[in-house]
Amino acid sequence: MSILVNLGGRLLPPEQALVPVLDRGFLYGDSVYEVLRTYAGVPFALSQHLDRLEGSASRIGLALPLRSLIETEIARTLSASGNADSYIRVMVTRGEGTFGLAPSLSDEPRLVILVRPLELPAPELYARGLHLAIVPVRRNDPRTLDPKAKTGNYLNSVLAIAQARAAGADDAIFLDLKDRITECSSANIFFVKESVVVTPPLTQGLLAGITRGRVIDVARAAKILVREEPHGTGALTQADEVFVTSTLREVMPVTRLTFLGESAPGPHAVGSGVPGPMALRLRELFRASVARGEMQ
């Protein structure tokens, strides 16, 4: 797999794309990032991703390079890659500085764009559905590092997926400090009860997933009832269906749940234990909307 890196405007293979150890992204995770994918070579929801990047940067007081420069560099890297479809990771660190936490010690932001051929989840995962573990580690409270900011500090998610994988699950579901479901390590979560689609509200402390927003829109356009409301884990065990959304997974069903740290951890089957019709329908509606060119 050939990865192409744009480091401060230079296009390089990854082994030559070196970031100094005094970069604050390396020292403190002091950076923001976005993950996009292309459909038919065109970045999906580029303006929404750049809006979210700006939102993340403003939450941590990081001054981004000009938006037009980021757009130009993404386009240049994509076209140099020659990929039919690409995974695109856009990262901006607060740059280098002398040791010390104060952001004022940094010089200027460093833009890094990483492009590689798009690799999608195995079709088998859509056919069998994911096994998710409700893990002991909790989602950051919004008063700590607000999960709405997509920063380079992803240790919360790293710990969650490590706990899930150690239990034999594919991914993790985070609870917040009030025992309410929030999201997965890198995806948003939904459940379905009696044909109503439910997902935690953004105010609870979770990333405003771009796929999440689009899925809500296509569902509502198809007259499917969608509610954004907080729920505990009981809602998942009683749900007819559970599914996750993200840029790479689109809409992926969940068929098994494990409750770590509880007396009967499971795995428990979700609904009838096989992927349900709503997840399939929403994936089709989502893909149809992309195919209609609703890219921005």
Binding site residues, ligand PDD, CB under 6 A: 35, 157, 183, 186-188, 207, 209-212, 245-248
Distance CA 162, CA 158 (A): 6
- List strands edge to edge, sheet with 10-12: 10-12, 4-7, 110-117, 86-93, 31-39, 42-43
- Which residue's CB is nearer to ligand PDD, number 145 or number 235? 145
- State the nearest-atom distance from the C-beta of 188 to ligand PDD, in Å: 5
- Which residue's CB is nearer to ligand PDD, number 43 or number 97? 43
- State the nearest-atom distance from the C-beta of 211 to ligand PDD, in Å: 3
**Inter-helix orientation angle 46-59/210-221, to 10°:** 130
- Which residue's CB is nearer to ligand PDD, number 252 or number 278? 252
Is 289:262 a contact under the CB 8 Å cutoff?
Answer: no
Distance CA 36, CA 48 (A): 10
- State the nearest-atom distance from the C-beta of 97 to ligand PDD, in Å: 26
Could you count the other beta carbons within 10 Å of the beta carbon of residue 76? 14
- Which residue's CB is nearer to ligand PDD, number 90 or number 96? 90
- Which residue's CB is nearer to ligand PDD, number 208 or number 235? 208
- State the nearest-atom distance from the C-beta of 53 to ligand PDD, in Å: 11
Q: Greatest CA separation found in the chain? A: 57
- State the nearest-atom distance from the C-beta of 273 to ligand PDD, in Å: 25
Is 75:67 a contact under the CB 8 Å cutoff?
Answer: no
